[in-house]
Amino acid sequence: MNTPFTVTLEARGVACDRGGRRLFEDLSFALAPGEALLVQGPNGTGKTSLMRQIAGLLPLAAGEISAKGAEAGTPTAELCHYVGHLNGVKTSLSVRENLTFWADYLRGDATGGDVNAALGVFGLAPIADIAAGLLSAGQKRKLALLRLFACPRPIWLLDEPSVSLDVASVERLRQAITGHREAGGIAIVSTHVPLGEAFTHTLDLHALDMAEEPAP
Ligand SMILES: Nc1ncnc2c1ncn2[C@@H]1O[C@H](COP(=O)(O)OP(=O)(O)OP(=O)(O)O)[C@@H](O)[C@H]1O
């Protein structure tokens, strides 16, 4: 098997503050190549915040997140693909132009990346030349996810990736995560619905400072 990715990811004693409130603390995990972490917990417990911390978009209130096995000097953020709640789609650009932009931006060059291969993943090739603003919600979500394939990166951070996807596309996404792991990649996925993926690790976030609400 071809295993291009050899990166490991470790979080030690991580804490997160938002709006002056501590969301979680003492959070630790370690992921080897090919492993996948399911992040779950009620709304507002900090799943998105954790993803953003790993992606380097939000500071750590305490602790450390580090990746080993990458080319020396590569920041952890540049090892990650972060697909969050917002699709980051430019509505006036075509599907292909959006993808080409992401491929060039993420690769740091203007080679266009693997755009044609990526377009085939969710079957968007027939509509590659229409404006992204005309896409349905599910098609926009697929376009957002296609950046995973236009530029290989070892760590996938997927925040509710299946939102708006039809059943067949959720299965395609599951296969893509499996394929990424078989190539030595790491996946960290936050989801409220089962994806069918067999995760190697699970992280349960709980509200720190909110009393349990009584059952109705
Ligand atoms: N920019 C911000 N400033 C202040 N508080 C914020 C900010 N962004 C998020 N929060 C708060 O941080 C908490 C955690 O938000 P986060 O989006 O990480 O939760 P989540 O577990 O991903 O929730 P959900 O399941 O609803 O997506 C929430 O209480 C939210 O109000």
Residue 147 lies in a domain: no
| Structural domain count, the chain | 1
CA gap 135, 125 in Å, rounded: 13
Tokens 């992606």 belong to 55
Residue nearest to atom 12 of ligand 1 (CA): 18
- Residue 211 has a pLDDT of 43
Does 54 reside within a domain?
yes
Residue 129's CB is within 10 A of a number of other CB atoms, namely 10
CATH number at residue 27: 3.40.50.300
Ligand 1, residue 45: give the atom nearest the CA: 21
Q: Considering the domain boundaries, does residue 69 fall inside one?
A: yes
Nearest alpha carbon, ligand 1 atom 16: 46
The pLDDT of residue 108: 60
130, part of any domain: no
Q: Which amino acid is at 57?
A: L
Is 36 domain-assigned? yes
In ligand 1, the atom with minimum distance to the C-alpha of 52 is 18
Structural domain span for residue 85: 8-90+153-204
The alpha carbon of 49 and the centre of ligand 1 are apart by a number of angstroms equal to 6
Q: Is the ipTM of this complex over 0.90?
A: yes
- Report how far residue 39's alpha carbon sits from residue 115's, in angstroms, rounded to the nearest whole number: 30
What is the residue-level pLDDT of the chain in tens, covering all 216 positions? 455 899 999 999 999 999 999 999 999 999 999 999 999 999 999 999 999 999 999 999 999 999 998 887 888 999 999 999 898 899 999 999 999 988 888 776 555 557 888 898 999 999 999 999 999 999 999 999 998 988 889 999 999 999 999 999 999 999 999 999 999 999 999 998 888 888 999 999 987 754 444 455
In a domain, 184, yes or no: yes
Long-range pairs of 91-97 with CB within 8 A, sequence gap ≥ 24: 91/131, 91/132, 91/133, 92/131, 92/132, 92/133, 93/131, 93/132, 94/128, 94/129, 94/130, 94/131, 94/132, 95/119, 95/124, 95/127, 95/128, 95/129, 95/130, 95/132, 95/135, 95/143, 96/128, 96/129
> Within 6 Å (CB) of ligand 1, which residues are found?
18-19, 23, 41, 43-49
Whole-number Å distance between alpha carbons of 20 and 8 = 31
In a domain, 188, yes or no: yes
β-pairing verdict for 8-18 and 21-31: antiparallel
d(C-alpha 51, C-alpha 206), whole Å? 16
Q: Rounded distance, CA 112 to CA 101, Å?
A: 8
Q: Which two tokens stand for residue 190?
A: 């936050």
Domain membership of residue 148 (yes or no) is no
The pTM assigned to this predicted structure is 0.91
Q: What's the full length of the chain, in residues?
A: 216
